A and B are shown apart, each in its own frame.
Chain A
Amino acid sequence: GAVVSQHPSWVICKSGTSVKIECRSLDFQATTMFWYRQFPKQSLMLMATSNEGSKATYEQGVEKDKFLINHASLTLSTLTVTSAHPEDSSFYICSARRQGMNTEAFFGQGTRLTVV
């Protein structure tokens, strides 16, 4: 069964509105989760590292005020795309790893965001 669950799977929103995406680790506690964005025919680009109980760490070029990340518990991280625009349309994927560095990353199902 799924280890990491992500919702919604797809969403269509109007330009200027905000969209929240949830990522849950189902059978382990994740102090760290990762948010990726993937444009068509491109690889996964890391946006930010979500840290439980503290501020997220954003990659260079990612606007922290636009992509709000909240990691309020050890099993839930949320990504909110604020004031969405058509160029934000993309595939957003979260992942989590168990404690220890030599472990695979489990991915959520991904969220297809379309801003119209």
Chain B
Amino acid sequence: GQNIDQPTEMTATEGAIVQINCTYQTSGFNGLFWYQQHAGEAPTFLSYNVLDGLEEKGRFSSFLSRSKGYSYLLLKELQMKDSASYLCAVTGLTGGGNKLTFGTGTQLKVEL
């Protein structure tokens, strides 16, 4: 099976940097995704990691360590619009490697 853990809530200040951690245990691993979801809306894709290391995309970066079963999403220069839920998701060997299993999600609140 798969077990994915994230902090439930985080609060940060506008303009600051925040790191959202995700740990996972999965039977087989074929990649980790980060999604952003605003209330009442569908998730939107942020990043994808399959190899160890850091992937940078503008204000967002994502890191993966497969040996540790660990990833983080780094958000820089926080803006009020970044207040949302951030979902970590992994693909494993089940479902033909195509199934995406989501973590509990981290609700980020950005304050002035």
Q: Are B100 and A34 in contact (CB under 8 A)?
A: yes
Q: Are B104 and A41 in contact (CB under 8 A)?
A: no
| Residue among A57, A95, A108 making CB contact with B95, cutoff 8 Å | A57
Distance in angstroms from B68 CB to nearest chain A CB is 21
Q: A43-B103, A95-B100, A102-B48 are in contact. Are A107 and B95 (CB under 8 A)?
A: no
User: How many B residues have CB within 8 A of the partner chain?
Assistant: 27
Q: Are A41 and B99 in contact (CB under 8 A)?
A: no
The prevalent SS among residues of B at the interface is mixed
| Residue among A41, A46, A106, A109 making CB contact with B101, cutoff 8 Å | A46
Q: Which residues of B contact A105 (CB under 8 A)?
A: 33, 45, 89, 100
Q: Which residues of B contact A101 (CB under 8 A)?
A: 30-31, 91, 97-98
User: How many A residues have CB within 8 A of the partner chain?
Assistant: 26
Distance in angstroms from B83 CB to nearest chain A CB is 14
Chain B residues near A (Cβ < 8 Å): 30-31, 33, 40-45, 48, 50, 85, 87, 89, 91, 95-105, 107
Chain A residues near B (Cβ < 8 Å): 6, 32, 34, 36, 41-46, 49, 57, 91, 93, 95, 97, 101-102, 104-110, 112
26 contacts between A and B (CB under 8 A): A32-B98, A36-B102, A43-B87, A43-B102, A43-B105, A44-B87, A45-B102, A46-B100, A46-B101, A46-B102, A57-B95, A93-B42, A101-B30, A101-B97, A102-B30, A102-B31, A102-B50, A104-B33, A105-B33, A106-B45, A107-B42, A108-B42, A109-B41, A109-B42, A110-B41, A112-B40
